[in-house]
Amino acid sequence: MLGSTRESIASAHSIVVKIGSSALTSLVAGLDTHRLDLLADAIEARMRAGSDVVVVSSGAVGAGLAPLGLTKRPRDLATKQAAASVGQLALAHAWGTSFARYGRTVGQVLLTADDIARRTQHRNAQRTLDRLRALHAVAIVNENDTVATTELRFGDNDRLAALVAHLVGADALILLSDVDGLYDGDPRKGDATLIPEVNSPEDLDGVVAGSGGALGTGGMASKLSAARLAADSGVPVLLAAASDAAQALSGADVGTAFAPRPTRLSARRFWVRHAADTSGDLHLDEGAVRAVVSKRRSLLSAGIVGVSGDFHAGDVVSLMGPGEKPVARGVVAFDAAEIEEILGRSTTDLPADMQRPVVHADDLVAL
Ligand SMILES: Nc1ncnc2c1ncn2[C@@H]1O[C@H](COP(=O)(O)OP(=O)(O)O)[C@@H](O)[C@H]1O
Ligand SMILES: N[C@@H](CCC(=O)OP(=O)(O)O)C(=O)O
């Protein structure tokens, strides 16, 4: 199975390559154009071998610090956004200059979480990326940091990269970082062993995914959840060191390979699980949690003990188990005010026009 994961990454026709801040920038030197050139060399080689590549490049905040006289990664959003606006210009310019060595044009694509969550923008972004590919240009994607209204809406670019892989229907996602793969513990904290292959969630038992470096955002936890997200959409993932980019992109046996799930989630359930914002919560009793999580049944009004948020039929809501634990997400079939009226009641006791599941099994994804 895993041999085939590496084989499918090696032979992938459409690839998303995500490059972390730590691979492109440092606090002292800012943007490292030499390292960026080596990455562009490896990407160009893969494109010349016949693959389409979309680049998700972090590093805007890191590249913007020195020009603004800042010596550490800012904590507040406004300074981060100011740094990103300065750094993004430098970053995009550096990618453009680097690929120009090969006569290759780049296009900058800045996305917000909404662009992925809302279906109309989703399609616009998809069309732009597709047309850039058709015109043999390389898309350089980053979060649109300066308009992200709350602290990094995607959370981090690992998640953005996995969503972009889904968006463009990629066959592989390659995450390049300053670490050469997943270890069973944070390698900066002493003895840790590299895990070459992750085939199932059990392979992650006991793994401690720690925080990132001085310039990174999500650390290993965000890479693991991005790998899970990509796996759900059927995309295999390779996590490797940016310094091994040439090997990673040419199919060498480096880093950690994550197998995709055998059957990918439908586009609708993928959207419910990963892309949509939730508008409220339904609180479930133990029996309802068992029904929706273990038995994959629809959620009925009888198992709901509470409702919060002001949502409408058609919105995505979180399903919370006892102890406020999120157990699933789904598209709700009633407004919040209607659910207040029917919660705890059996479906057959409801008026005829309300006798339907609150969340249908087809619209529900366990977490
Ligand atoms: N279990 C682990 N395996 C590998 N690296 C880990 C682990 N836990 C924490 N890390 C740290 O995560 C860092 C990579 O995350 P981050 O700095 O966010 O990277 P990037 O900038 O590439 O997104 C590595 O430098 C490493 O020290
Ligand atoms: N949009 C931000 C990305 C921050 C981010 O996710 O960084 P990383 O964890 O290094 O991928 C930037 O360009 O600085």
Residuewise pLDDT in 10s, the chain (367 residues): 456 999 999 999 999 999 999 999 988 889 999 999 999 999 999 999 999 999 999 999 999 999 999 988 888 888 999 999 999 999 999 999 999 999 999 999 999 766 776 666 678 889 999 999 999 999 999 999 887 665 444 457 898 899 899 889 999 999 999 999 999 999 988 899 999 999 988 899 999 988 777 666 678 988 998 998 898 889 999 999 999 999 999 999 999 999 998 887 777 888 888 767 789 999 999 999 999 999 999 999 999 999 999 999 999 999 999 998 899 999 999 999 999 999 999 999 999 999 999 999 999 999 8
Gap from CA of 186 to ligand 1 centroid (Å) = 7
Same domain, 193 and 233: yes
Supply the pLDDT for residue 62.
Answer: 93
Look at ligand 2, atom 3, and give the residue with the nearest C-alpha.
Answer: 58
Q: Which atom of ligand 2 is nearest to the CA of 160?
A: 6
- φ and ψ of 160, to 5 deg: -55, -45
User: Residues enclosing ligand 2, CB less than 6 A?
Assistant: 20-22, 58-62, 84, 142-143, 145, 156-157, 212, 216-218
Supply the pLDDT for residue 123.
Answer: 83
Residue 299 DSSP one-character state: B
Same domain, 219 and 99: yes
Same domain, 208 and 61: yes
Supply the pLDDT for residue 135.
Answer: 96
Same domain, 217 and 290: no
Given 250, 267, 284, the domain boundary residue is 267
171 neighbors 14 (Cβ within 8 angstroms): yes
Segments in 112-200 forming alpha helices (H): 113-117, 119-134, 157-167
**Which one of 186, 198, 203, 204 would you pick to mutate in the ligand 1 pocket, going by the greatest count of ligand atoms within 8 A of its CB?**
186
Q: Which atom of ligand 2 is nearest to the CA of 156?
A: 6
CA distances from 114 to 56, 63, 279, 281, 331 (A): 17, 25, 14, 20, 18
Supply the pLDDT for residue 152.
Answer: 46
Same domain, 320 and 230: no
Annotated binding site: 18, 58, 145, 157, 177-178, 217-223
186 lines ligand 1 (CB under 6 A): yes
Look at ligand 2, atom 1, and give the residue with the nearest C-alpha.
Answer: 143
Number of structural domains found in the chain: 2
Given 244, 267, 290, the domain boundary residue is 267
Given 218, 246, 267, the domain boundary residue is 267
Measured at the alpha carbon of residue 281, what is the angle toward residues 279 and 285, in degrees to the nearest 5?
Answer: 160
Supply the pLDDT for residue 122.
Answer: 77
DSSP H/E element including 286: helix 286-289
Supply the pLDDT for residue 72.
Answer: 85
Same domain, 279 and 226: no
59 lines ligand 1 (CB under 6 A): no
| Residue range of the domain that includes 195 | 2-267
Supply the pLDDT for residue 1.
Answer: 47
188 lines ligand 1 (CB under 6 A): yes
Gap from CA of 184 to ligand 1 centroid (Å) = 12
Gap from CA of 323 to ligand 2 centroid (Å) = 33
Supply the pLDDT for residue 263.
Answer: 80
Q: Whose CA is closest to 262, among 235, 290, 299, 293?
A: 235
CA distance 297 to 289: 10
CATH code of the domain containing 36: 3.40.1160.10
Same domain, 245 and 153: yes
* Other residues' Cβ atoms within 10 Å of the Cβ of residue 123: 11
Same domain, 231 and 314: no
177 lines ligand 1 (CB under 6 A): yes
**C-alpha count within 13 angstroms, C-beta hemisphere, residue 48:** 11
182 lines ligand 1 (CB under 6 A): yes
